[in-house]
């Protein structure tokens, strides 16, 4: 099969299934993963698909959202390094908001037992991690719970964030860029993230470098709303410098 034929078939599979992944395509077409990546790059350049973690989605599916299990295993080493670096941003005996997200959950799991903090979160998994922490006063924000992310959304959650002020917010995003800002696939989750940003004196974005340049359906802010971006070394020094010129500090863990 010639490359154009293979790419046409990849596009058909993406449109039929809503997503394709590199390893499955390599096995199906009996080619290397690098060959599939070149195919996806060509389709991306043509505006037919958009590359995402480990594969691609057809254009028009900016609302695609992987489930928690898939996100937990994606860029795990990078997320661990980001979470470790984020611990230096914990407010001393202060108040913080923890957004829903797998990298933010790693921060929650790594909070030292001697820490004394007030934590507000709308994430059920993060609340479960912190419920038995001896030094944390935990506030769980209520609302409709989305099955895919286990995050509370809608009016109750928005009302809760409208009534508090926190020292720092650790926020997650599915995509971030100077051009498109901070994006996520779901409008309801975007609204809660936006309310959390407004409730915090300092905003720390935790996002691995593969999310740089990614664009999703729902925008909840711009990089100008972020005081500090903690990412991994996969973000190039040039890209980091460009973000810092916009006023956001960057740490590459």
- pLDDT the model gives residue 27: 94
Residue 90, SS3 per DSSP: coil
CATH 3.40.50.1360 intervals, the chain: 70-252
Residue in this structure with the two tokens 């898939």, named with its chain if needed: 70
The secondary structure of 167-232 as a DSSP string is EEEEEE-SEEETTTEEEES-HHHHHHHHHHHHHEEEEEEE--GGGBT---SEEEE-GGG-SEEEE-
> Between the CA of residue 105 and those of 22, 23, 79, 122, what are the distances in Å?
27, 27, 10, 12
pLDDT, tens digit (0-9, with 9 covering 90-100), for 51-102: 887 888 887 656 666 666 666 656 788 999 999 999 999 999 999 999 999 9
- Sheet containing 166-172: give its strands across: 136-140, 117-121, 95-98, 166-172, 200-206, 228-231, 249-252
- Listed in order, the ranges of the chain carrying CATH 1.10.10.10 are 3-58
pLDDT of residue 115: 97
Chain segment 25-38, per-residue pLDDT in tens: 999 999 999 999 99
Quick one: which of 16, 29, 25 has its CA closest to 58?
16
DSSP state of 235: S
DSSP 8-state symbol, 143: S
Looking at domain 70-252, its CATH architecture is 3-Layer(aba) Sandwich (3.40)
Q: pLDDT tens, position by position, for the chain (253 residues)?
A: 788 889 989 988 988 888 899 999 999 999 999 999 999 988 888 778 888 878 888 876 566 666 666 666 567 889 999 999 999 999 999 999 999 999 999 999 999 999 999 999 999 999 999 999 999 999 999 999 998 899 999 999 999 999 999 999 999 999 999 888 999 989 999 999 999 999 999 999 999 998 898 888 899 999 999 999 999 999 999 999 999 999 999 999 9
Tokens 């060959």 -> residue: 35
- Output the CATH code of domain 3-58: 1.10.10.10
75-88 CB burial, b ≥16 within 10 A, e <16: beebbebbbebbee
């Amino acid at each position: 099969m010639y490359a154009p034929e293979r790419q046409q078939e990849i596009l058909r599979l993406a449109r039929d299934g809503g997503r394709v992944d590199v390893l499955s395509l390599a096995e199906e077409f009996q080619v290397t993963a690098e060959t599939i990546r070149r195919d996806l790059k060509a389709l991306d350049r043509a505006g037919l698909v958009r590359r995402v973690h480990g594969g691609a989605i057809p254009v028009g599916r900016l609302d695609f959202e992987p489930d928690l299990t898939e996100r937990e295993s994606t860029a795990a080493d990078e997320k661990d390094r980001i979470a470790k670096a984020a611990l230096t941003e914990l407010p001393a005996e202060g108040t913080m908001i923890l957004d829903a997200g797998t990298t933010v959950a790693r921060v929650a799991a790594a909070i030292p037992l001697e820490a004394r903090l007030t934590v507000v979160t709308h994430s059920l998994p993060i609340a479960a991690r912190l419920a038995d922490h001896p030094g944390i006063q935990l506030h769980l924000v209520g609302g409709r719970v989305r099955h895919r992310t286990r995050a509370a959304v809608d009016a109750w959650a928005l009302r809760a964030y409208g009534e508090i002020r926190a020292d720092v917010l650790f926020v997650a995003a599915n995509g971030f860029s100077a051009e498109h800002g901070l994006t996520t696939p779901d409008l309801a989750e975007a609204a809660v993230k936006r309310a959390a940003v407004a409730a915090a004196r300092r905003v720390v974005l935790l996002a691995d470098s593969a999310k740089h340049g990614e664009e999703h359906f729902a925008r909840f802010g711009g990089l100008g709303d972020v005081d500090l971006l903690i990412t991994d070394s996969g973000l190039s020094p040039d890209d980091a410098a460009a973000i810092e010129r916009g006023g956001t500090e960057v740490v590459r863990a």
